[in-house]
């Protein structure tokens, strides 16, 4: 019925299996929380497969201000490694799922049909939506064919939530600035394995301000979903779920409780792909959709005068002005929109997107093969979008939230202010239309994500925001033993929402909590 049940089942399984509490990795000095899950087969050579670009989903119908889409969640086969198929769970059977493209001023209604063997929940990450459409973790869509009378087999997912059977329409008003959003599964206790199996896709939202800027567009606007995975010899994904069927028993083998790290880096579902680009400006929408891995992304070789990655956008949309970087740190769920000027490289050369936090196979991400320069139609504007700077004086209250390892029933898990997630317990009641400061503290790497409202980073330790904290954020890369302050203007959208760690093994093992907007 709820988290207590999780604690009881998982706790007794732990005790029965005699698994103790291992010291999870991820302390200070590490770059990610988690343990490496090694693939069985030899890994393919990098930069052989062309970068796939997910299909843009076409609406089934449109009326004057609404576009209607349909997605079927299903089991499918994908060709990821050479010579073998990988079973995935995909939106429309693909990984990543189809890209949804929307315009501010039009609503989108996405009809999801669940043909998977388990209940699912869809969350539009970065979307400002009312609770019924936000994908609250117990608002399950039970598999097609199930009815309120026949949900047996899903005892773990019996819920008091706002559930549906087979089909659910998610209504997105999308009255928010242009941004790189993404959608993914959010089923309580099982988000990690569901996303690992493939339930994630891009949602690119546009507006008139962005359009007027003349940024690179069309095939020079590349969404890049970066994930790490681990494979068995038959091509299937490895993931250390205690219950491989994801039916009853949540959680992972305790050796991986700090996070599951794969040794194969996929971009848009392909291992270390290569993209053929012209010597022009490109917009790269970097999304870290990995369960636990953090990356430090850089171009190798860097362009002659450095600053190869010019950031124009953050999680919640465009920055006030571009920020040049040599490297970008990206934690799970974060997005960085960057412009790369490939005319700074000679035609015929190759430049690799590397991960300076990685070693061996995880130190490379993908490659760009540079072709000749074509007429340039885009530019990097000096200023981008209006982003008001929030200050302490705007806030009516300050709350302190601790993100730490702790007891979840009889097992070790992850807690917020000492509490494991319960769908009913409310940590914070906020007044819509007011602004609050939340002071976040953690023991490990915890990328903290708050639903509904984008926020700004006020401080890290004794310093101001970090180099990667600018603009509207919805996820902050909280680092071990660090204290950070964020300032959040709450929208007048009443109801109950979650905030949680986006290291998915932490989220699934209870590092999630509710806030209510009044
Ligand atoms: Cu991307 Cu609550 O999640
Ligand atoms: Cu965490």
State whether the beta carbon of 470 lies less than 6 angstroms from ligand 1. no
- Report helix, strand or coil for 232: coil
pLDDT for residue 7: 42
User: Residue with the nearest Cα to atom 3 of ligand 1?
Assistant: 125
Which uninterrupted H or E stretch holds 11? helix 3-17
Least confident interval from 15-24, 58-67, 187-196: 15-24
CA distances from 51 to 131, 226, 296 (A): 36, 12, 20
Binning pLDDT at 50, 70 and 90, where does residue 25 land? very low
Atom of ligand 1 nearest to the CA of 135: 2
Residues 423 and 496: beta-carbon distance below 8 Å: no
Q: Which two tokens stand for residue 320?
A: 């006030």
Phi, psi of 446 (to 5 degrees): -135, 100
The reply to whether ligand 1 has any atom less than 6 angstroms from the CB of 335 is: no
Q: Is the pLDDT score of 27 beyond 90?
A: no
Q: Which pLDDT belongs to residue 23?
A: 35
What global pTM score does this model have? 0.95
Asked whether 451 lines ligand 1 (CB < 6 A), one says yes
Tell whether the model's pLDDT for residue 326 goes beyond 60: yes
- What does the buried/exposed string (b/e) look like for 326-353 if buried means 16 or more CB atoms within 10 Å of the residue's CB? ebbbbbbbbbbbbbbbbbbbeeeeebbb
What's the CA-to-centroid distance between 502 and ligand 1, angstroms? 7
**Four-point Cα dihedral 216, 221, 227, 231, nearest 10:** -140
Strands 86-91 and 66-78: antiparallel
pLDDT in tens, 398-424: 999 999 999 988 888 999 999 999 999
Reported confidence tier of residue 29, pLDDT bands at 50, 70, 90: low
Angstrom distance (rounded) from CA 23 to CA 31: 16
Closest ligand to C-alpha of residue 259 is 2
| Ligand 1 contact, 203 CB (< 6 A) | no
pLDDT of res. 20: 33
In this structure, the chain runs to a length of 518
pLDDT at 13 over 60: no
Cα–ligand 1 centroid distance for 207 (angstroms): 23
Q: Where are the alpha helices (DSSP H) in 174-306?
A: 191-196, 208-212
Ligand in closest contact with the CA of 480: 2
* 120 CA from centroid of ligand 2 (Å): 22
Distance 252 CA to ligand 2 centre (A): 14
Does residue 10 carry a pLDDT above 60? no
Query: How many Å lie between the centroid of ligand 1 and the Cα of residue 345?
Result: 37
Query: Can you tell me the mean pLDDT for 237-258?
Result: 93
Q: Return d(Cα 105, Cα 2) in angstroms, integer.
A: 38
What confidence tens digit (pLDDT) does each residue in 260-310 have?
Answer: 999 999 999 999 999 999 999 999 999 999 999 999 999 999 999 999 999
Interatomic CA distance for residues 502 and 491, integer angstroms: 22
């Amino acid at each position: 019925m709820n988290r207590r049940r999780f604690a009881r089942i998982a706790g007794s399984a732990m005790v029965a299996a005699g698994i103790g509490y291992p010291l999870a990795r991820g302390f200070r000095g590490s770059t990610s929380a988690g343990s490496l899950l090694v693939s069985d087969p030899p890994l393919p050579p990098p930069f052989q497969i062309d970068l796939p670009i997910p299909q843009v989903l076409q609406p089934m119908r449109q009326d004057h201000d609404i576009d209607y889409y349909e997605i079927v969640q299903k089991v499918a086969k994908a060709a990821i490694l050479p010579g073998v198929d990988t079973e995935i769970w995909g939106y429309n059977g693909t990984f990543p799922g189809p890209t949804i493209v929307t315009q501010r001023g039009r609503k989108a209604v996405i009809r999801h049909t669940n043909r998977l063997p388990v209940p699912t929940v869809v969350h539009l990450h970065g979307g400002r939506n009312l609770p019924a459409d936000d994908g609250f973790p117990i608002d399950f869509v039970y598999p097609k064919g199930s009815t309120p009378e026949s949900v047996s087999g899903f005892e773990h997912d019996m819920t008091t939530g706002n559930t549906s059977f087979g089909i659910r329409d998610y209504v997105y008003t999308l009255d928010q600035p242009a941004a790189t959003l993404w959608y993914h599964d959010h089923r309580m206790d099982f988000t990690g394995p569901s996303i690992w199996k493939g339930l994630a896709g891009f949602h690119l939202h546009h507006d008139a301000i962005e359009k007027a800027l003349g940024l690179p567009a069309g095939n020079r606007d590349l969404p890049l979903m970066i994930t790490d995975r681990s494979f068995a010899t038959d091509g299937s994904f490895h993931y250390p779920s205690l219950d491989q069927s994801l039916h009853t028993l949540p959680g992972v083998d305790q050796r991986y409780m700090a996070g599951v790290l794969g040794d194969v880096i996929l971009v848009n579902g392909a291992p270390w792909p290569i993209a053929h680009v012209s010597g022009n400006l490109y917009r790269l929408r970097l999304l870290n959709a990995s369960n636990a891995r953090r990356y430090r992304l850089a171009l190798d070789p860097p362009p002659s005068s450095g600053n190869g990655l010019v950031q124009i956008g953050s999680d919640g949309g465009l920055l006030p002005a571009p920020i040049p970087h040599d490297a970008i740190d990206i934690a799970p769920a974060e997005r960085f929109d960057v412009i790369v000027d490939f005319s700074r490289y000679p035609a015929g050369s190759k430049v690799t997107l590397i991960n300076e936090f990685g070693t061996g196979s995880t130190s490379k991400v993908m490659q760009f093969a540079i072709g000749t320069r074509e007429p340039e139609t885009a530019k990097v504007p000096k200023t981008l979008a209006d982003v008001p700077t929030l200050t302490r004086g705007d806030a009516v209250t300050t709350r302190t939230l601790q993100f730490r390892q702790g007891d979840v029933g009889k097992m070790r898990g992850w807690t917020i202010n000492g509490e494991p997630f319960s769908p009913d317990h409310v940590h914070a009641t906020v007044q819509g239309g007011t602004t609050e400061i939340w002071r976040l503290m953690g023991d490990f790497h915890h990328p903290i994500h708050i639903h509904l409202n984008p926020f700004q980073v006020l401080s890290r330790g004794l310093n101001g925001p970090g180099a990667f904290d600018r603009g509207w954020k919805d996820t902050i890369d909280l680092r071990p033993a660090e204290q950070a302050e964020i300032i959040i203007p709450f929208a007048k959208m009443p109801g109950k929402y979650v905030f949680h760690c986006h290291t998915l093994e932490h989220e699934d093992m209870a590092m999630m909590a509710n806030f209510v907007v009044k």
